[in-house]
Amino acid sequence: MGKITHFVHQSLDGFIEGPNGEFDWPRMDGELSAYSQALTGSTDIFLYGRVVWDMMSGYWPRAEEFSTNEHDLAFAPVWRKAPKVVVSSTLAEADWNTRVINTNVIEELTTLKDSGAHLLLFGGSTLAGFLTEHQLIDEYQIFVHPVVLGGGKPVFTTPQQRFDLTLTETRTFDSQVVLLRHERAN
Q: What is the DSSP string of 124-143?
A: -HHHHHHHHHTT---EEEEE
Q: Which amino acid is at 91?
A: L
- Collapse the DSSP code of 45 into the 3-class scheme (helix H, G, I; strand E, B; otherwise coil) and give the result: strand
User: Exposed (0-12), middle (13-18) or buried (19+): which is 71, by Cβ within 10 Å?
Assistant: middle
User: Which residues, listed in sequence order, are joined to residue 46 by a DSSP beta bridge?
Assistant: 84, 120
- Distance of alpha carbon 73 from alpha carbon 30, whole angstroms: 13
Please state the pTM of the whole predicted model. Answer: 0.94
- Collapse the DSSP code of 82 into the 3-class scheme (helix H, G, I; strand E, B; otherwise coil) and give the result: coil
Domain residue ranges in the chain: 27-117
Is 156 within 8 Å of 184 (Cβ atoms)?
no
- For residue 160, what pLDDT is reported? 67
H and E: helices and strands count for the chain? 6, 10
Is 63 within 8 Å of 73 (Cβ atoms)?
yes
Backbone phi, then psi, for 82, in 5-degree steps?
-65, 140
User: Which residues, listed in sequence order, are joined to residue 151 by a DSSP beta bridge?
Assistant: none
Distance of CA 10 to the CA centre of its chain: 11
- Distance of alpha carbon 2 from alpha carbon 170, whole angstroms: 23
- For residue 157, what pLDDT is reported? 75
Is 121 within 8 Å of 4 (Cβ atoms)?
yes
User: What pLDDT tens digit does each residue of the chain (186 aa) get?
Assistant: 899 999 999 999 999 999 999 999 998 889 999 999 999 999 999 999 999 999 999 999 999 999 998 989 999 999 999 999 999 999 999 999 999 999 999 999 999 999 999 999 998 899 999 999 999 999 999 999 999 999 999 988 766 678 899 999 999 999 999 999 999 986
